Homo-oligomer: A and B are copies of this chain.
Amino acid sequence: MDVKTQNIELTCKPDEMHDITGQVERFLKEIGAREGCVVIFAIGSTCGITTIEYEPGLSRDFPDMLDRIAPPGHYHHDATWGDGNGHSHLRSSLVGTSFIAPVLDGKLLNGTWQQIIFCSFDVRSRQRKVVLQFLGETTG
């Protein structure tokens, strides 16, 4: 059993969604992952990690749904900090900033139409860091 940790960086526009499945797969290949799990952790409090069928329709529907649940507006957070991103924080707490996926024979076990996405919910462009951490057996 082994543990390997690596950061990836993402350049994100406001309210943007990134399919990071390929980057997770690349990490698993680089470290020679065999059987275990990969933790995917978004650093920050205005972002999230989840899975989706990554296609143009849902890439609009998911933010639309979040607009109904946590619309941009007047939050106590904004009254104090004046950064106008109260709703971004709420979406982060709701969607969650951490995800774990199992790996077998070096492959992620996600479905064909189930991509791992990083969501930047913030109102401004941000440079983001995501931690990838594998725990399990490696060829190394």
Contacts and interface: CB of A to CB of B under 8 A. Distances in A.
Nearest to A5: B104
A33 to B, nearest CB: 11
Contacts of A120: none
A83 B70 CA distance: 27
A85 to B, nearest CB: 10
A96 B100 CA distance: 10
A65 B55 contact: no
Given A41-B109, A114-B97, A131-B102, A5 B35 contact: yes
A61 interface: yes
B45 A52 contact: yes
B89 A53 contact: yes
Nearest to A114: B45
Contact of A76 (B3, B51, B57): B57
Interface string A4-44: 01000000000000000000000000000001110101011
Contacts of A94: 50, 65, 94-95
A69 B90 CA distance: 12
Interface of A: 1-3, 5, 35-37, 39, 41, 43-45, 50-53, 55-58, 60-62, 65, 68-70, 75-81, 86, 89-90, 92-102, 104, 109-111, 113-114, 131, 133, 135-137
